[in-house]
Structures are given as structure tokens and as C-alpha cells.
Amino acid sequence: MVILSTTIVDILNIISCQNSKVYKLKKTIIFMSHIEIKKTNSNSYASFVKKVSFMGKLLVIKKAMGLEMPTTNKEKFLLDNLERISEEEFNFRKKYLLEITPLISHDPILPEQIELKSIILNNLIEAKKCEDKVDLEFAKEFIFNSNNIEGSKIPPEIVREIIDRGDTKYADRNEVKEVKNSVLAYNYLKKSFKFNIISTKKLYHILTKDLEMQKGVLYPKGFKKIPNIVGNSPTTAPEHVELALKELMEWYKKNKKKTHPLILALEFHKRYEEIHPFQDGNGRTGRLIMNKILISSGYQPIIVYKENKLSYFNALAKASEGRTKNYYQFMLEQTKKTYDFLEDTARKY
């Protein structure tokens, strides 16, 4: 007999008001761990069971819980045994990490710290049933930092107010609109985004709809029409953007089951920024899509922090010249910083 226990991930339990319309994302049900009951002649015994699929391989973690009791509780057992269960999953995934560590980090300990923390985070969030709350706090930090990197001046407390209350009296209405669009784009990313041209254009459209790129000038529709340069590096010519993006999407689909998720997400982001498919908004759309890959692979999403934006731009520039290890190293440092924040957030609940 198996008693399934599900975690209900309220991807963003946010109500954002725009033009008097209320936007609220539907809930998604994810099956993670469960309690398995085995009956003997006179007793029923409970076991905690978690199935982990990673890189095409399956791990089944099974722990005896003793006699089934009215107080038998999967979440309490997971929380009480958080380190032990997380360590077992980490040891299963570690061999795949060791294969790529020399390619992505100057510090061999950093990728292991991230991998273990990612597992602990997932288990902690499941045990505390706080996925909606943690995701909400992530969204506030991510939107503030991602927009700020691209020149937004809106303070973090105003971003939080907009997300919590749906609006604000902040004077710069274009920046308020940018935050509201970012909430809708994040919702779309997690609910509906597919790895194709249509979804990429849709994500950009949601992010930039009715938004001024500069005073009195709205963001243009669709892919870029004139060339753009990032730093001193040229990007894909406008006439080649659609083909380059299609090839990148095919690369992702071909490699998503055989390339380590950390490399998959970070390499996709690097290649996307080299294409730079839109006239503006490439960093914001690119970081969103990178997080879609991480989430789809069982990792928590990450933030590139505004105070590190110069290092971020520099790392991307060097990566476009073929020096990718420093780029990976930088992005892993941002991942560690994000996961520390998310763990601190989860432990509050």
C-alpha cells in the first residue's frame, strides 16, 4: 500500500493588478516523496520513499519509519532526517559533478557545495511546505536585481510593495510597469514557456509590453532590426537571429538529458547573450530562460546580483572569447549566494 504525499507548488501566489485585471497563476502539483505502508499479519510498517531521477539514472531512497501510527508524517520525518537523506542523494549525484568540476570551477569545493545545498533546499522546502513563500521571496529579489542590472533605479522596497500589493505610488510609472511586466513574465516562464521561437518572442513581449525603452520610445516588437554590440563584442546579425536561436533551442533539446544541468543552463545563457536576439531586454529574458532550465532540471533558480554586474558583464565578454571557466566560476558564485539566501528564507518558516 502506498500513500502518496504531494507538494503543491504555487509557482507565484502573486496577485498583480494591471488595467483592473487580476493575474494569478494556477497551482502545479509535483510528486516528490511518499510514505509506503507494508502490512504484516498484525501490524503495518511505514517507510519513507523518495525517487530521484538524475542524468537518466534512478535512485530510490527508502528509510524505515517503524510502525504506522496516527502521527506518521512524511514532512516531519524528512525534516528530522534532512542531512542523512540529502547526503545520500548527493553521493548519488556527486559522480556526475566530478566529471565537470575541472571545466567549471577553479575551486573544486564550490560545485559540491552548490550541489549539496540544492538538494538540501529541495528537501527543506518540501518538508516545511513553504515552496510558495520561498518562491515569492525569490521573485522579489530576482526581479529587483535583474532589472537593476539593466539600468532600473527603482528601490528594492518598492519592488516588494508592487509584488505584495499589486501597485505603488512610486512616481516613475514606467519602472512600476517594468516590475509588473516582470512578474507576468516570471509567471509565464514557469507555467507556459517552451523552448522555441514563439515562446521566446512571447516572453520578450510580456516583459516589454507598453514599456518605454527610453523617454517616449517604446520597446520595438520582435527580433532586432539593427545590429547591436555588447561591450566590444559583436552579436549575431539581425538577419541571422532566428536561425541562430533555432539552433540554440535544438542544442538544448539534444543535450538536456545528457549534459549536466549546471553546464546546460549556464552554457545556454552564454550562447543566448552572444546571439542577443532583441534590440534590448536580452539580459532579462536570458536570465529568465536560464532559470527555466535549472527549474526543469530540479534545481532552484538563481539571481545575478546587481552589485556584481560589472563582473558579470566581464565574465560574459571573456566567455565569448573562449575563456569559459571564469564565466562558470562567476555564475557558480552567484548560485551559491542565491542558495544561501533561499536556505535562510526557507528556515524561517
pLDDT along the chain (349 residues), means of 10: 32 36 38 87 93 94 93 94 97 96 96 98 96 97 97 97 96 97 97 97 98 92 94 91 98 96 98 97 98 96 98 95 95 98 96
Residues 186 and 11: their CA atoms lie apart, in Å, by: 9
| Joined grid coordinates for residue 171 | 512616481
The confidence score (pLDDT) of residue 230 equals: 86
- Domain ranges in the chain are 131-346
Which CATH architecture is the domain 131-346 placed in? Orthogonal Bundle (1.10)
Strands (E), the chain: 2-9, 16-18, 21-23, 28-39, 44-54, 57-67, 212-214, 217-218, 229-230, 233-234
The confidence score (pLDDT) of residue 216 equals: 87
Angle at 95 between CA 94 and CA 101, to 5 degrees: 80
Residues 278 and 225: their CA atoms lie apart, in Å, by: 8
The confidence score (pLDDT) of residue 344 equals: 97
The confidence score (pLDDT) of residue 147 equals: 97
CA 191 vs CA 1, 123, 173, 187: distances in Å: 33, 22, 27, 6
The confidence score (pLDDT) of residue 237 equals: 97
The confidence score (pLDDT) of residue 232 equals: 79
